[in-house]
Structure 1
Amino acid sequence: MTEPTFKKISVIGLGYIGLPTAAMFASRKIKVVGVDVNQHAVDTINCGEVHIVEPDLDLVVRAVVNEGYLKATTEPEPAEAFLIAVPTPFKGENHEPDLKYIEAAARAIAPVLKAGDLVILESTSPVGATESMANWLAEARPDLTFPQTAGKASDIRVAHCPERVLPGKVMQELITNDRVIGGMTTKCSEAASRLYKNFVTGECVVASGPRVAEMAKLTENSFRDVNIAFANELSIICDKLGMDVWELISLANRHPRVNILQPGPGVGGHCIAVDPWFIVSSAPEQTKLIRAAREVNDAKPQWVIDKVHAAIGAHLSAHPDKTATEVTLAIYGLAFKPDIDDLRESPALEIARALVGAHSGPVLVAEPNIDALPLDLAPARLVNHETIRADIHVMLVDHKSFKSSSTPTGLLVDARGGWDISQAKAKAKGKASTATDK
């Protein structure tokens, strides 16, 4: 018997993953209902506009809303497939996964479920989250059967399919990247694969179950976190030994089997900075390397903050007639990576908050991808980087616009290797020495 096609899909959570996914399905002439608790996001989308920055997303959303294939609402509606793409934060200070948003989404869609429906958890989650979601659904709908008890004969199909896209390239990678699909049964996996093949040109790879699919995503991001920690640790070692870490990495990477990543002010975003802790929480005694990498990356922001304070001290020593209230500090970048507006788990934002709170003088912030500073950065001012005049310049995010501009004059703390330090030294000839984290 041929399985039916999907005529209506519901996406729960219209953020950086949910909205592009909803738009992608809608672009294939499938009716999509997006659900979000944020009324502003709902209203914005229904006007054919977007509330997040992602290349090409605005064009697709405008088209599918105008054509009637995508609408947003705050309440779930009946559909044939439900994709849950909500946050999975921590609770407490021990990095324990908090599944409250997944549970809330599951209980929200439960009343509109019917036999034959498919529920997919896309949220990056700790091992076992998909099974927990299935249990919450079963508690809410005892009149339906679920895979954990009915197996292949269940009324509802349940699977995990983690997103694996790069911010800034989401609309491309949703299509071309392979998808890892972990259904609770083979029937669940088959249904999920059939759904994604509406737009995915990459391979839909079926895992042996949802736990393996969950672990695959966590493993991918933990691998990257460990490699970034190595680069960040090298930057600290090189600073102590008086070496240029960027030169060192460039030389080491000439080996055909070496590819060291670039250091930075820490690790941000809602994936690499979070996912390794999900593995640690699942097996705390067996994750020594993953935990150590997290600790190295989590400590890097404070190291940068200390370098900035040292630069301020150096400037005051060179200008004994000045006080700290007269030292202007300029911060370049707040996003967690270049050329996006996403501030989630951003080490740059963490550093900026600390500097604004500690520095008594003026603080200027250049972040070209946002229209206003977060409220907790007051009294700092959001400015165009091309107009900045400051004593200390702190590069935290190497946006393209920063790198294409000339290196500023003054003391530099460059956490991303985005400035030409030799050029800065030439400009500052006869002035105080340049301070960098190179």
Structure 2
Amino acid sequence: MNNRFKHICVIGLGYIGLPTAATFAAHGVKVTGVDVNPYAVDVINQGKVHIVEPDLDALVRDVVAQQKLSAQLTPAAADAYIVAVPTPFKDNHEPDLKYIEAAAKAIAPHLTKGNLVILESTSPVGTTEQMAAWFSESRSDLTFPQQAGEEADILIAHCPERVLPGKVLQELISNDRIIGGMTARCSQAAIDLYKVFVKGDCIETNARTAEMCKLTENSFRDVNIAFANELSIICDKLDINVWELVALANRHPRVNILQPGPGVGGHCIAVDPWFIVSKTPEQARLIRTAREVNDSKPEWVIDQVKIKIAEFLQANPEKTIQDVTVACYGLAFKPDIDDLRESPALNITKKLAEQGLNILVIEPNIQELPAKLPSNIELITLNDHQQADIHLILVDHSCFKLSLRLNSEYIIDTRGLIK
């Protein structure tokens, strides 16, 4: 282990920060984790976890027991700081950097000469420089890369995460990392830190390119998903099975169409392309259109549900719309996880409930429904799905594939599970 980094402070203990903190701790580094959520801090200090990620619970239990990882509400003095806080966008799709700004202002009083600060939060181009400016405003007694270049007292870099939920602990170690320092010395310090556990390559670039790299990766995915989602709407119009069509087209050696779905969710793909659009609105035409296609897909799904309800009521004239029950299969933004961030399934379920429908939710990865959902939504088990009149498949959880045998003509399958 590089002796330079004996103690690091990780700001933000969510789906990226906590696995990162625990992995550093497992490799012998003392880690102080920081989060504004008192519940998360308490749970972690008990050696438990507040999020679902395979094997994370055992890892956290071990490193807390070894006193390598502890959690608190405010930063501590350390050799290096990793900022892994959310970067949402506002209603107008402009990026909201308030959490990064708050993290910078909380870290600033603890900075000492030679410290390294790494921004991992996915960010618009220029955010790492903005973070450095916030530090400079708070600490005029220290120099930063934008002022002193290679001679700066504080080293600053951007290193975006690029892990897959459900496989975070493996991918943290095995994936290549893009290391974007504000100077070459900043990059090298960040490489030294990540090499504590990263087995993949640490590839050096500058901060702006590193920021844009993460946005580009997720925009590439978003554009390709938009193609699949638009294709599914076209196929519905033309009475073509989109799943069969995609499978046939993908037999071409240079074609690889993704699977359509009810929209795009998660904290990355549904958000990051807007960061490119906000910086370059005149140039990012395709990226903007892809976002609009994917953002509109949930409304199309809701329209399909309305059509099925109309068909059901026509076949059952003794019933009214108040009698109709809709089962929504899945709330997470992707299969086999509990992560509901930016989930189109959650958004669709909420909007259907707001229209007064009786909603049953089958989501095996959560114990209770989010408080923000309307009261006419009930969480049930897969065994009770026969209570519903209309079946809406939103997430292709493994357990649905294994046991879902719906005997109904009122099915909207946004995932191609019903063959």
- Name the TM-score class by shorter chain: over 0.9
Q: Could you say which residue in structure 2 is the equivalent of 1:228? A: 225
2:35 aligned partner, one-letter code: D
Q: Could you say which residue in structure 2 is the equivalent of 1:201? A: 199
For residues 305-333 of structure 1, what are the alpha-carbon distances to aligned partners after superposition, in whole Å with 9 as ceiling and x for unaligned?
Answer: 00001100000001111111222210000
Q: Could you say which residue in structure 2 is the equivalent of 1:355? A: 352
Q: Could you say which residue in structure 2 is the equivalent of 1:172? A: 170
Structure 2: how far apart are the matches of 1:379 and 1:251? 41
Name the SS of the counterpart of 1:363 in structure 2: strand
Q: Cα distance, 1:385 vs. partner?
A: 1.2
Equivalent residue pairs, number: 415
Q: Give the alignment partner of residue 248 of structure 1, picking from 245, 248, 256.
A: 245
2:113 aligned partner, one-letter code: A
Q: Could you say which residue in structure 2 is the equivalent of 1:33? A: 32
Q: Work out whether 1:365 is the aligned partner of 2:365.
A: no
2:370 aligned partner, one-letter code: P
After TM superposition, the score normalised by the length of structure 2 is 0.98
Q: Could you say which residue in structure 1 is the equivalent of 2:314? A: 317
After TM superposition, the score normalised by the length of structure 1 is 0.94
Map 1:291-306 → 2, pairs under 5 A = 291-306=288-303
Quote the sequence identity (%): 66
1:373 aligned partner, one-letter code: L
Q: Could you say which residue in structure 1 is the equivalent of 2:66? A: 67
Q: Work out whether 1:150 is the aligned partner of 2:148.
A: yes
For residues 144-165 of structure 1, what are the alpha-carbon distances to aligned partners after superposition, in whole Å with 9 as ceiling and x for unaligned?
Answer: 1100001111110000000000
Structure 2: how far apart are the matches of 1:349 and 1:406? 20
Q: Cα distance, 1:393 vs. partner?
A: 0.4
Map 1:91-102 → 2, pairs under 5 A = 91=90, 93-102=91-100
Q: Cα distance, 1:377 vs. partner?
A: 3.2
Q: Work out whether 1:7 is the aligned partner of 2:6.
A: yes
Structure 2: how far apart are the matches of 1:121 and 1:156? 13
For residues 34-64 of structure 1, what are the alpha-carbon distances to aligned partners after superposition, in whole Å with 9 as ceiling and x for unaligned?
Answer: 0000000000000000000000110100000
Name the SS of the counterpart of 1:404 in structure 2: helix
Structure 2: how far apart are the matches of 1:381 and 1:409? 21
Q: Unpaired segments of 5 or more residues in structure 2?
A: none
Instruction: Check the 8 A contact 2:33/2:72 in 1, yes or no.
Output: yes
Instruction: Check the 8 A contact 1:352/1:377 in 2, yes or no.
Output: no
Structure 1: how far apart are the matches of 2:242 and 2:383? 27
Q: Could you say which residue in structure 2 is the equivalent of 1:429? A: none
Q: Could you say which residue in structure 2 is the equivalent of 1:46? A: 45
For residues 3-31 of structure 1, what are the alpha-carbon distances to aligned partners after superposition, in whole Å with 9 as ceiling and x for unaligned?
Answer: 85210000000000000000000000110
Structure 1: how far apart are the matches of 2:250 and 2:53? 31
Q: Could you say which residue in structure 2 is the equivalent of 1:431? A: none
Instruction: Check the 8 A contact 1:386/1:405 in 2, yes or no.
Output: no
For residues 200-248 of structure 1, what are the alpha-carbon distances to aligned partners after superposition, in whole Å with 9 as ceiling and x for unaligned?
Answer: 00000001x1000000000000000000000000000000000000000
Q: Which runs of 4+ in 1 moved over 6 A?
A: none
Structure 2: how far apart are the matches of 1:173 and 1:186? 26
Q: Work out whether 1:385 is the aligned partner of 2:382.
A: yes
- Describe the shift of the 1:395–1:224 C-alpha distance in structure 2 as closer, same or farther (beyond 3 A): same
Name the SS of the counterpart of 1:338 in structure 2: coil
For residues 224-274 of structure 1, what are the alpha-carbon distances to aligned partners after superposition, in whole Å with 9 as ceiling and x for unaligned?
Answer: 000000000000000000000000000000011100000000000010000
Name the SS of the counterpart of 1:330 in structure 2: strand
For residues 364-390 of structure 1, what are the alpha-carbon distances to aligned partners after superposition, in whole Å with 9 as ceiling and x for unaligned?
Answer: 100011111122232211000122121
